[in-house]
Amino acid sequence: MSSAFSVIVEDFSSRLESVSEIVVTATNKTALPKLRVASIHAATLLLAATFEEFVREMARESAVHIVRKAKRVSDLPEKLLDTAWKRTLDGIMYKKHAAQSKKESLEISIKLARPKMEALFAFIEGDLNQDIFDNLIHNENNMRANEINSLFKVSGFKNACVEVCKRAELKNFFGAEDEGQTHGALLAALEDFFNRRNEIAHSLNSASSSGPEQIQRDIDLFRAFSRDLGSTINLTFFNGG
């Protein structure tokens, strides 16, 4: 695996260990029940944010690699160009600035937008050394399978979650016999996790809570996913992909 991708995977594994330490509080029988529940809620929300950041980092690095590998704009996936255009414009349109007047706000917007637009124009016209990556990778919703796939389509992956399920870690995690079973189990696990995450986020006082064992299984799921994603990128980018 390239050093950039391996560093991201290793860093994610370290951050998962930090989440595990929060879960330990929930297993302490001497702790107050409210503290144990709060620990599970905190671990769930942190785990979701950590996983989503990891996927974005891997997707962004994939896009950077694709651009570095290309000799000309025509070598790039059309999705990358379309997304670079849309995200750059979105980033400019929705950026708010503190100003004394509307005119001053617009002047600030123009000053900040001009170099980003000039970089984008130059990139599309053939200067692949331009940095157009600031807003390129952005998820609109929770990092379920469709969202993951959408981020990696920028780099030419047709279905990242299907590809990931061809590797060993997730198959072993789910005890699945083939990639089809693994893929189905992954979709269900992601759906279940983010449903629980959203229930907590929408109501921190919710009486519903996962147990420590469930959160630890979530952590193990995301660790397996990260390793298989790293293997998938390695095979795609560095072994003839």
pLDDT digits (tens, 9 = 90+) for 117-126: 999 999 999 9
**Greater confidence, 92 or 129?**
129
Establish how many alpha carbons lie within 13 A of residue 119's alpha carbon, considering only the half-sphere containing its beta carbon: 15
Q: 114: which 2 tokens? A: 């001009």
Query: How large is the average pLDDT for residues 136-157?
Result: 95
Q: Residue 1 — pLDDT band, cuts 50, 70, 90? A: very low
Which of 88-97, 114-123, 125-134, 215-224 is least confident?
Answer: 88-97
Please say whether the dihedral angle defined by the alpha carbons of residues 73, 78, 81 and 85, taken in this order, is positive or negative: positive
DSSP 76-101: S-HHHHHHHHHHHHHHHHT-----SS
Q: What is the pLDDT of residue 210?
A: 74
pLDDT at 229 over 80: yes
- Using left for φ > 0, alpha for ψ between -120 and 50, and beta otherwise, residue 126 falls in left
pLDDT category of residue 206 using cuts at 50, 70 and 90 = low
Q: Around 139, how many Cα atoms within 13 Å sit in the side-chain half-sphere?
A: 24
Q: What is the pTM of this model?
A: 0.90
Q: Where are the domains of the chain?
A: 3-238
Please answer whether residues 55 and 157 qualify as being in contact, where contact means their C-beta atoms are separated by less than 8 angstroms. no
CA dihedral 1, 55, 49, 147 (to 10 degrees): -160
CA gyration radius for the chain? 21
Q: Which two tokens stand for residue 125?
A: 């016209």
Is residue 55 a contact partner of residue 79, using CB atoms and an 8 Å limit? no
Q: How confident is the model at residue 240 (pLDDT cuts 50, 70, 90)?
A: very low
Residue in the block written with tokens 């590998």: 69
